[in-house]
Structure 1
């Protein structure tokens, strides 16, 4: 019996950060689950949402892309991005495939699983919610802004982050959290990748109630911009803990020591990719998670 067959891990986030983490957890196969943010409204995803409605598929597609181990015609199709003039320019075929399944009234989780099976991806990938919702932020000057891209562009710090409208979490994602031995937050854009799933009441409650799981926060390796860039690490941890009903983060994993964070258990390990120091190395992340699970 190995750690891969006996431990269940849930990673929460979105975009490239969650994809990187899930790639590091690939050895856990179906014992690893990614709960993916679905609030993006930029790029190809945003254009599709504007025309068709539905949840944002871009982060889910990104996570699947980073887990493909056997390149094939199917994976090349899924990753294909149109170029040239006209309506299709910039659209990703994977986003369009997932949107088409959604329009055929296929449940979003079933659509994700269909693509996963087609591309031989074992790690579970679950949209945070199967209902469309957008991020809404309250700035320090009392202004509400709606939409992920608008939130990212705000020049001032935020007082509050909400989902508009409030939507239910995907049931299978909540179940995965309840059964997890470790729950990982990050790396990734704090306000637009890590926080959206935590804003779902069922997700925050499930993390709070699973006291046997180790709750791990993974720091980014490069600074963020926008309002997240104005937040200290302590503020980010406090926001996470508030969303999780006061549940303490058990481990803060990063490359930089934080003697000022005496309330938290900060673990410092090498995590950066050797050729791109702003990006996490999959093998180093995998070894770090295994180290924390073995403690």
Structure 2
């Protein structure tokens, strides 16, 4: 039995970073699971949330897009973005399809599974929560700000993050973490993709309690901006471990060495960048790096 058939891998995050990682892990098929952040409030996703409520679909759609391996009319529709002067300008049809299926389904996860079936995506995609919530942050000036878009551009440094309102984690996400052999955090926007799922008590507790799984943090290849860009790698690791009730990361995976943290964490350096876009992880290099660590 191969590694892909015998091991279960869970990736946690959102947006382009999680989609890239899941595409790298796609050979694991249904033994791979992505737990996706659902707090985005910008762009097409934000407008849909304002008008129809529900969770943010943008990061989930992005992950599914990167997992499509068989081009079809369905995949072209799912990836289509409207252009023009009307109200639909800028909207992604995939976001609207997920919103419609959510309204037709008992729960959001059913909508995702219907789309996965239609697009022949084997990797499991699970929203961190099936209840709408926004990311909030406490700044060093003692003010609370609300919404991912506000957090991304905050001029002050941040002391902590929270969710408003508090919502329960999706039970399938908790179960995936409980049974995982390997759990990967990142790459992606640290404050708005990696951290939101860790703010859910059930998920953070499951991460803390599964000590058998190899817990890996994948560093970004390009710098972030805003408050996340002003954080050091050590600060990011510390925030993750604090959210997981002190559970230490087993491995930090990155392309460039960080001698300032190597006495505290097991830092593994390996080439990860795509040959034509050095700010983006190469899928094969990322897959081989994670497999070697497992």
TM class by smaller structure: over 0.9
CA distance in 2, matches of 1:231, 1:165: 26
CA distance in 1, matches of 2:120, 2:103: 24
CA distance in 2, matches of 1:232, 1:134: 25
1:22 maps to: 22
**Which runs of structure 1 show a deviation greater than 4 angstroms over 4 or more consecutive aligned residues?**
none
CA offsets, 1:57-114, max 9 Å, x none? 0000000000000000000010010110111001011100111112224310010000
CA distance in 2, matches of 1:76, 1:104: 22
1:149 maps to: 149
1:278 maps to: 279
Alignment of 1:93-112 (within 5 A): 93-112=93-112
Moved more, 33-42 or 104-113: 104-113
Q: 1:69 to 1:105 in 2, by over 3 A?
A: closer
1:173 maps to: 173
Q: Offset at 1:260?
A: 1.1
1:3 maps to: 3
Q: Does the 8 Å contact 2:40/2:46 carry over to 1?
A: yes
1:292 maps to: 293
CA distance in 2, matches of 1:279, 1:287: 16
CA distance in 2, matches of 1:16, 1:241: 23
Alignment of 1:209-220 (within 5 A): 209-220=209-220
CA distance in 2, matches of 1:290, 1:25: 9
| 1:60 equivalenced with 2:48 (yes/no) | no
Alignment of 1:1-295 (within 5 A): 1-261=1-261, 262-293=263-294
Question: Counterpart of 1:184 in 2: which secondary structure?
Answer: strand
CA distance in 2, matches of 1:128, 1:248: 21
CA distance in 2, matches of 1:116, 1:87: 28
Residue ranges of structure 2 left out of the alignment (5+ in a row) = none
Q: Offset at 1:147?
A: 0.5
CA distance in 2, matches of 1:164, 1:95: 22
Question: Counterpart of 2:97 in 1: which secondary structure?
Answer: helix
Q: Does the 8 Å contact 2:11/2:21 carry over to 1?
A: yes
CA distance in 2, matches of 1:222, 1:49: 30
Question: Counterpart of 1:163 in 2: which secondary structure?
Answer: strand
TM-score when scaled to structure 1?
A: 0.99
Q: How many residues were matched structurally?
A: 293
Question: Counterpart of 1:246 in 2: which secondary structure?
Answer: coil
Q: Offset at 1:274?
A: 0.3
CA distance in 1, matches of 2:126, 2:145: 27
CA distance in 2, matches of 1:265, 1:236: 15
